[in-house]
Structure 1
């Protein structure tokens, strides 16, 4: 399963009793739709709790507002609270994460600026070297 959304708060790293680290974060997925027979656009936001067990080093990059693409599976959690009520939640167990941008639409990497004349000269040299 694949989800794309914005991180709602900076990711946190927790450690289990066995010493395994997990990165916990939440993603907001925005969607729009029109109801039948209406031109009014409805907006809906779905919040998804995520857990990433593979590499805790990614946590500093998962900051509030960052656009991320996550692949993984949904898991169900059930428990009984102190008052004896049965509770349940869903968690998205992430297998891979792609970072698509910093908050405010910035880019994660900065590309060097190449003057146009240098870039066109480099392209013509490459084009002449092609075997076909």
Structure 2
């Protein structure tokens, strides 16, 4: 499944009790449609995302960055601090592509190694097979 959205916060690296590192971030997906009355309705969906492949991508995943993600969706449920049941969507990311961004973000991306740019879905090499 592919989704396109903007990061709602900077990515964070977390270490699990099994000493595995994961990059966690949140994405907002905006959609709009016209209802039966012909009024435009704006709708936002928020997904908590995880990326287990490489933590170096966290350097370029900053709030407001437009990203295209490939992966799978899962649901989760938990009991809130107030005792009320809660539910959310998780997106287990397998590929990240950066789209656009500010000059500041582009300069951060330019400082990454070619290996890190491939991880983030961006390549700068011209070694194309065709």
TM (normalized to structure 2)?
Answer: 0.71
Q: List runs of 5+ in structure 1 lacking aligned partners.
A: 111-132
Seen in structure 2, the aligned counterparts of structure 1 residues 80 and 35 have a Cα distance that, compared at 3 Å, is closer
Partner of 1:34: 34
Partner of 2:65: 66
Distance 2:74 2:93 in 1: 10
Seen in structure 2, the aligned counterparts of structure 1 residues 17 and 30 have a Cα distance that, compared at 3 Å, is same
RMSD: 2.3
- Paired residues in the alignment total 108
After superposition, the C-alpha distances for 1:25-62 in whole angstroms (9 at most, x for unaligned) are 01111111111242x32211111110111111100100
Partner of 1:45: 44
Q: List runs of 5+ in structure 2 lacking aligned partners.
A: 111-130
Distance 2:65 2:11 in 1: 11
After superposition, the C-alpha distances for 1:82-115 in whole angstroms (9 at most, x for unaligned) are 67654433211001000112248x75778xxxxx
Contact kept, 8 Å, 1:34 with 1:42, in 2: the verdict is yes
TM (normalized to structure 1)?
Answer: 0.70
Q: Which has the higher Rg, Structure 1 or Structure 2?
A: 1
SS of 1:102's equivalent in the other structure is: coil
SS of 1:74's equivalent in the other structure is: strand
